[in-house]
Structure 1
Amino acid sequence: MRIDIISAVPSLLEGPFSHSILKRAQDKGLAEIVVHDLREFAINKHGQIDDYAYGAGAGMVLMVEPIDKCIQKLKSEREYAEIIYMTPDGDTFNQRTANQLSLGGDLMILCGHYKGIDHRIRETHITKEISIGDFVLSGGELGAAVVADAVIRLIPGVLNDETSALSDSFQDDLLAPPVYSRPAEYNGMKVPDILMSGHDAKIEEWRFEQSLERTKTLRPDLYKKFTKSHQK
């Protein structure tokens, strides 16, 4: 999978893709992340990519021309399953969306900045609008990094344990159960005996019960969704 990210401040994305799982995915050739500096498509020698909004109001708006030229160039080079705009008024990102995007092919992600982007871009190029929560950030870069991380880790071969992603929270509308590691006892705190029993079936049953209880307590909205889907 290739993910092209368009940003007015590309330096904000230097860290997230240079470490850990995302770096290994790129080193293995399983994913490619390319960040494009929107100022390379500026309308003048001064690097201008934003201007005041028509109708007055506070804040600058990313102009239509630089974004259009950048998107058109990328679209001329390859096809994209989705062209995503990171925006507070988009659909809230969740695991189901991550699963869908991981199966769909190459992605392009446009990061908003300042007061947003010229709406004509949203009308002509954007196929999917995503928000990572009901809050406002300075730009879409951190949101784009979140989406890229959530999607790429689902690509077969990225994680060392192929089943790891399938047992993550939200994959089945349940939170993950508690996890423990060595030592078996620390300062009087013990790992549950069932996890050291070697009885795989009983361990899985315990984990499922723990997931149910944690979800019911911490995320009753998810628990309701889970029970409803399993009543069909």
Structure 2
Amino acid sequence: MSINASAHPRDLTGRPRVKGAWTARVITLFPETFPGVLGHSLTGRALEEGLWALETVALRPFGDGRHKNVDDTPAGGGAGMVLRADVVGAALEQAADGTPADPARWPVVYLSPRGKPFDQSMAARFSRSEGMTLLCGRFEGVDERALEEYAVEEVSLGDFVLTGGEIAAQALIDATVRLIPRVLGNQASTEEESFSDGLLEHPQYTRPAVWKGRTIPDILLSGHHANIATWRRDMAERLTQKRRPDLWRAYRAKHGRDPDGDQEL
């Protein structure tokens, strides 16, 4: 199988990077969809400043034959098409060039609805690595042999199916990159938001003080920081109990309380 030069990782900014900058390397049939939303706002500015890097590996050049076919019909029959193991394997090998073999230092992830649910702790784990490779699937998925051969970690954004992994990859990258020091510019904000301590975030307010008859809670205007912190924790617990019973049970267990307790706050 021939591989042309366009199959090599392509840096999407071409600008100098901060030494050791965290890097996302994305294998995709549609490299033109990147950086997408990642090129805007804080992640985009951090990308331009070299605080993190984004590279794409086009999957099509690894395809077979004159038409560079990347998929074939499912073995055993069925609808749709499956990405071929030899095609995906060649792309994964190319993407691995120059990266650590240790998955703790450089995870290799396939965005898949059957994967382990993505959460904040996983984003934190990925942010502590040197970078990661993300495989964006299409059609009915990827030949299982490629995932087994390269010990690919499967990750899901939720119990739903997308037409491809590109949107999921951008969401995963965004959640990860924002945890990298200096990207947000205010690291304290990541310590107070949803899921940082197993709870949903408390309600937020800002000016005007009165809007359509609705006022900002008096305690937030009191200037009493200890009382404000207590109120915010109480509201975070109430919201979590009401909206995410699964998180609430885990939170109670973590803090030595009966996970199945039905005490109303």
Which of 130, 133, 140 is the aligned partner of 1:105? 130
Work out the CA distance in 2 between the residues paired with 1:11 and 1:189: 45
Secondary structure of the residue that 1:205 maps to in structure 2? helix
TM-align CA RMSD = 1.4
**Deviating 4+ runs (over 6 angstroms):** none
Work out the CA distance in 1 between the residues paired with 2:158 and 2:117: 6
Work out the CA distance in 2 between the residues paired with 1:58 and 1:208: 50
Q: 2:255 matched to 1:230? A: yes
Work out the CA distance in 2 between the residues paired with 1:212 and 1:163: 20
Which of 212, 218, 230 is the aligned partner of 1:193? 218
Q: 2:147 matched to 1:126? A: no
Letter in 1 for 2:99: R
Which of 109, 112, 116 is the aligned partner of 1:84? 109
Gaps of 5+ in 2: 1-21, 258-265
Q: 2:166 matched to 1:141? A: yes
- TM-score if structure 2 supplies the norm length? 0.83
Deviation at 1:14, TM superposition (A): 4.2
**What is the number of residues matched between the two proteins?**
232
Match of 1:27 in 2: 48
Question: Could you give the per-residue CA deviations for residues 76-123 of structure 1, whole angstroms, max 9, x where no partner exists?
Answer: 222252100111111011111111111122100001110111111110
Q: 2:33 matched to 1:12? A: yes
Inter-CA distance 67–3: structure 2 relative to 1 (3 Å threshold): same
Work out the CA distance in 1 between the residues paired with 2:38 and 2:57: 14
- TM-score if structure 1 supplies the norm length? 0.95
Match of 2:263 in 1: none
Q: Which has the higher contact order (CA 8 A, sep 6+)?
A: 1
Aligned partners of 2:71 and 2:83 also within 8 Å = yes
Paired-residue identity, %: 36
Secondary structure of the residue that 1:59 maps to in structure 2? coil
Aligned partners of 1:16 and 1:145 also within 8 Å = yes
Match of 2:96 in 1: 75
Aligned partners of 1:89 and 1:131 also within 8 Å = yes
Gaps of 5+ in 1: none
Question: Could you give the per-residue CA deviations for residues 153-178 of structure 1, whole angstroms, max 9, x where no partner exists?
Answer: 00010112111111111111101000
Work out the CA distance in 2 between the residues paired with 1:17 and 1:44: 34
Deviation at 1:199, TM superposition (A): 1.5
Q: 2:176 matched to 1:151? A: yes
Aligned partners of 1:13 and 1:142 also within 8 Å = no
Deviation at 1:187, TM superposition (A): 2.4
Work out the CA distance in 2 between the residues paired with 1:133 and 1:83: 19
